[in-house]
Amino acid sequence: MNETGEAMKSASAKPVRLALANLGCKLNHAEGEAMKHLSAGAGFELVPFGEEADVYVVNSCTVTAEADREGRRLARRARRIGGPDARVVIAGCSAQANTERMLIPEADLLLGNREKLRLPDELARPRLRDEMPEVRVSPIEESPEIESVVLPQFGSRTRAYLKVQDGCNFSCSFCATTIARGASRSLDVDSCVEHADTLLSGGHEELVLTGIHLGAYGRDKKPRSTLSRLVSRLLGIERNFRLRLSSVEPGEFTRELIRVVAGEAYGAGSSNGGSYVCRHFHIPVQSGDDETLAAMNRNYTAARCASRFDEIAKKIDGACLGGDFIVGFPGESKEAFERTMEWVRESPLAYLHVFPYSPREGTAAIELSGQVSKTEQKARARSLQELGRRKWAAFVSSQTGRETDVLFESRRTEDGFLTGLSDNYIRVLASGPDEWIGRKVRMRLAPLPKKNGFARIAARSDALWGEFTP
C-alpha cells in the first residue's frame, strides 16, 4: 500500500471501501476503470456502488440535462446508503462544465476531469470543512496533453475500452463537450500500441477505440497521424483479437479510413493472424435536414453524409451502421423533421440513438429562436425511434444464415444461455460451455427457437440464435 492508501486507512485497520458509478460515453467508462485501477493500487477496497462504502464516486456525464440530473440522483443515493460519515464525490464532466448545478448538499467534493485521474491523491488531501462541498476543478485548457493510464485489465468486462483521444476542436452549437473536455489531444501511436498489448495480455479479445472526437486522432501530433494509420498499427500486434471503433464523425469517416477498415474487416481475408476490424460503425448524423445541420454548426450536408454511408455499406458486406439524431432542435420545422425521417428511411442505417434537444448552458443553441416544445420533441423522438426499431429488425433478419464471430460475455441470461455480440453488433444467444465466456466463437446465426422453453425470448426481434460452427 502506498502513502495515499496509508493516509486513508490510518483511522482504521480495515481498508477504505470505495464504490464508483460510471455515466455516459465509452471514454468516460474507460476513465472510470482507470480511476478504479489507481484506487485499488493505493489500497482501497473496491465494492459495488449499491453497497455500503466509505467513499462513493460518481463519474458524471453532462451531455444532456438528464445526464446531469442522473449524476445528482446517484450522489443523493450514495448519501442515503453510506450515511453521514461516507464521503460522496461527483467527478468528471458535470463537475467540470456545470459546477454550480452539481453543488448539492449530499456531495462533499467535486473533481474536474483533470483531477479525477488523480483520485487517490485527491482523497488523501485534507478536507476543508468550512467549504462543503469542496470544489477542485482546474481549467481544462490547462491540460495540453492527454492523460491516460495503462490498464492491465478492463474490470470484469469481456471487451476493453482503449482511450486514444480526448477533447474536441469543433464548436457545434448544441454541445458542451469542449467546455467539459477542452481541445482535441491524442495519445501517441507507440503508447496506444503499448496500452493495447497490455490489455490483450490480460485476456481481452476485443478492443474498443474510444475518444470524444475519435476521427480527429493524430491531428495534434508531430508528425501528424490519422485514425486509419493507428488502426493499421494496432492490427499489427501479433495477437488474435478484434478491433471496434466507437463513434466517428461523418466528416472524419474519410475514404482512406473506409479503405483501411474495408480491407481489415471481418471476412475480408486480412493477413493479420486472425485479427480484424468489427463491421460496426457508429456515426453521429444528428439531422437529415441541411438547414438544421447548419444551425447546429455541423460541417457536412445530409447528401455528403448519405454518400459516406452508402460507400461503407457497399464496400463492407454485413456492415452495421448506427447514428445519433437530435430532434426538436431550435428552428427545426415539421418539414425539416420529415426530411430527417425520409433521410433515415432511404439510408442503410441499422439502428438509431435518438435524443430530444437539451439546452446546455454556455452553448450557442440556447440563444436560438424557434424553440420546439417538449411535447413536440417527445412526439418526434417517438416517431424516429419507431422507425429505428423497424430498421433494426430488418437488419437483424438480414443476417440470419450468415457466419460470424461472437464474443460471449461473463453473464448468462435468466434461462441459462450464453449471450454475446457478433462483430456487427447483433445480440446472440447460444447454448454452450463456460469455456466460451470471454472468447470469440464462430457461429452461424439463426432465428431464435420458438419452442422448448424459448417462448419468452423468441418474441425478441433484436437478437439471434448462435449455432456453433467448428
Tell me the per-residue pLDDT of 166-182, one tens digit each, with 9 for 90 and over. 999 988 999 988 899 99
Statement to judge: residues 113 and 45 lie in one domain: yes
DSSP-based three-state secondary structure for 364: helix
Rounded to 10 deg, the angle between the 189-201 and 227-235 helix axes is 40
Q: Give the three cell numbers for residue 469.
A: 460452427
| One domain for residues 12 and 133 | yes
Over the stretch 362-371, which tens digit does the pLDDT of each residue have?
899 999 999 9
CATH number of the structural domain spanning residue 220:
3.30.750.210
Same domain, 153 and 273: yes
- Given 398, 420, 455, the domain boundary residue is 398
Q: In 3D, which of 197, 259, 192 has the Cα closest to residue 230?
A: 192
Which residues make beta-bridge pairs with 455?
Answer: none
Does 272 share its domain with 168? yes
Structural contact between residues 358 and 64, judged by C-beta atoms closer than 8 angstroms? yes
Residues 239 and 178 in one domain: yes
The enclosing domain of 303 has a CATH number of 3.30.750.200
The b/e string for 114-125 (b: 16+ C-beta within 10 A; e otherwise) is bbbbbbbebbbe
- In CATH, what number is assigned to the domain containing residue 58? 3.40.50.12160
Number of domains in the chain: 4
Q: Verify that 373 and 445 share a domain, yes or no.
A: no
296 & 391 share domain: yes
pLDDT value at residue 4: 46
**Domain region containing 74:** 3-138
Q: Which residues contact 308 (CB under 8 A, 6 or more apart)?
A: 250, 253, 258, 283
Do residues 180 and 246 both lie within one domain?
A: yes
Q: For residues 42 and 100, state if they share a domain.
A: yes
List, for residues 10-40, the tens digit of each pLDDT value: 445 689 999 999 999 999 999 999 999 999 9
In angstroms, rounded to a whole number, what is the distance separating the alpha carbons of residues 137 and 116?
9
131 plus 28 within the same structural domain? yes
Domain end point (choices 342, 374, 398): 398
- pLDDT band of 268, cuts 50, 70, 90: confident
Residue 281 contacts residue 250 (beta carbons within 8 Å): no
Query: Do 161 and 224 belong to one domain?
Result: yes
The last residue of one of the domains, among 278, 302, 333, is: 278
Tens digit of each residue's pLDDT (9 = 90 or more) over 107-144: 999 999 999 999 999 999 987 656 678 999 999 887 77
Do 345 and 235 belong to one domain? no
Q: Which of 332, 325, 328, 327 is nearest to 347 (CA)?
A: 325
Are the C-beta atoms of residues 98 and 137 closer than 8 Å to each other? no
Give pLDDT, residue 453.
53
Please state the pTM of the whole predicted model: 0.92
Q: What is the pLDDT of residues 275-321, one digit of tens each?
A: 999 999 999 999 999 999 999 999 999 999 999 999 999 999 999 99
Is residue 158 very low, low, confident or very high in pLDDT (cuts 50, 70, 90)?
confident
